[in-house]
Amino acid sequence: AQAILAQAIAKELPRPHPSRGLDAMKEQGEVSASTDGALPDPTNQAAFRKDIWLKSFVGALGLMGPALALGLTRDLDDPVDEDGDGWSRDVLLQVALPGFVVFTATNAIMSRMPTTLGFAMLREIGSDVSLKESIRTNMTNNGVVLALFLTMLLAMWQADPNETPHQRNEMWYRMLLIFGIEACTRGAVMVSLFLLYLEPLGDAGPWHFAVDNMLYLGEPASCIGLTMVYFVQSCVLWVFNTDAKVMGCLAYLVLGYCIMRTLVVAQYLQDWNSPTVSNGTRHSRTMKLISCKAVDGTG
């Protein structure tokens, strides 16, 4: 019976003649024009911009600087725990305090990113798109990426026992992984909290919720960026610790390009304007961003 039904359906379907193209079939109404819709004309937003590449290059150099400095100075004397009680002054001065400075400076540099990333979800949103569904999808994607990163960082952190205690770069390697684990865990928990309070809201509620919590809306995405920075730095430092310095420098250049390219793409996407959103609407939304930054202190 299924074979007979399939044959009957096949007889009813139009069969294109070898000499007839798709345009001819569309003229006869046999094929919907939407199956071969014309692409829109490109704008100049994808044009090469020196300022974006320069900012990304400088940003990558700065973000990857600690790993390079540690790798090039790996021959310096390692900290010594003279008393054997774990409270070494050398560890404090060579690892703990500089590590805290790196952690604080990196988070200070990234402190303006969450509000901007949160606003990026709202600036170009179309009138026919559900904001609640968009936030749910973005948060779910962020949670998946953070969970994958967390798995890798934990595996790297616990892979080998510390056979050489108080080796400076080994401690820095584990500390960079700890920084990444912190960003991962924070972002994953925030995703869960955001979805917890978003789900009960109706149609209008998500708009007020997103504007009032724009800082937290973009924080999981900024946590992904932080995690990537700490992850690639720990990879570079691992190469310096196990191979020749020239290999460490090569790893610095290759993984530094990863950071630079990510920053380039992020800036291009941030500057993109949807043709379906009017300039007046975009300007009004931008004013809301300025107001949000004034409230949360990132302005």
Contact criterion met (CB below 8 Å) for 181 and 154: yes
Mean pLDDT within 199-228 = 88
pLDDT at 191: 93
Model's pTM, two decimal places? 0.80
Average pLDDT for residues 36-58, to the nearest whole number? Answer: 85
pLDDT for res 263: 93
Q: Give pLDDT, residue 33.
A: 38
Q: Which of 39, 45, 56, 44 is nearest to 272 (CA)?
A: 45
Question: Which has more confidence, 110 or 165?
Answer: 110
Domain coordinates in residue numbering, the chain = 49-80+88-296
Query: Position of tokens 């044009």?
Result: 47
50-59, 71-80, 144-153, 280-289: the lowest-pLDDT one:
71-80
Long-range contacts of 252-260 (CB under 8 A, 24+ apart): 252/64, 252/67, 252/68, 252/71, 255/64, 256/60, 256/61, 256/64, 256/232, 257/60, 258/228, 258/232, 259/59, 259/60, 259/63, 259/64, 259/228, 259/229, 259/232, 260/53, 260/56, 260/57, 260/59, 260/60
